[in-house]
Amino acid sequence: MAKKADAAATPFAIEIVDAARWRDLERLFEGQGGPHFCWCMVWRDMPNPERRDKTKKKAALKSRVYAEVPVGILAYDGDAPVAWCSVGPRRTVPRLTKDRDPSSDNSVWTIGCFFVQRPYRDRGLTAQLIKAAAAYAKESGATTIEAYPVAEDAPSYRFLGFVKHFAAAGFAETGRSGTHRHIMQRALI
């Protein structure tokens, strides 16, 4: 038990995903339990026929990374990528934010999902990713960051994170999206 508590106190290095970090994202997503089936394209635009092909989803995400479109951040334990948080301008995740203002500016950023490797869960990593995502958004000119988390007992959308983590990070609920998703926002000014 003490070992787990010590691990929770250790901050992880968190880096913005860019072309230089693509191989790390690829390694994380294709590793054991990784989200290689969706390539974090569920909320991003792409033609419907391609949505069923994981190779095309991977290529679509890679093209965004190489085009310098913000897609997210990675957490590292040493040199090993161990967690992912999708974060970028709201306009880049229109399928998640379809009932929201799709403004083309970068003033509102959205946290779209998380993936944390099993051995790193329950170690405070989600809180660190939320904090880092907010800092990245603010540094990129955002004035607001939002998320669509669910309650811990929700039967679906758990990859969006839990309400309690966002509440602890200063986010306030501003509405609902569908049955399970809570819309939560925090000002970055």
Strand-by-strand arrangement of the 181-187 sheet = 13-16, 72-77, 80-89, 108-116, 144-147, 181-187, 172-177
Contact 171, 186 (CB under 8 A): yes
Q: Token digits for 67? A: 């085009």
Digits of tens for pLDDT over the chain (189 positions)? 233 333 444 689 999 999 999 999 999 999 999 999 999 999 998 877 777 899 999 999 999 999 999 999 999 999 999 999 999 999 999 888 877 766 667 899 999 999 999 999 999 999 999 999 999 999 999 999 999 999 999 999 999 999 999 999 999 999 999 899 999 999 998
Q: What is the pLDDT of residue 4?
A: 38
CATH number for domain 2-143, candidates 3.40.50.300, 3.40.630.30, 3.30.230.10, 3.20.20.10: 3.40.630.30
Q: What is the pLDDT of residue 6?
A: 39
CA distance 97 to 112: 9
Q: Please, where are the H alpha helices in 31-87?
A: 54-66
Q: What is the pLDDT of residue 189?
A: 84
90-108 in b/e burial notation, b at 16+ Cβ within 10 A? Answer: bbbbeebbeebeeeeebeb
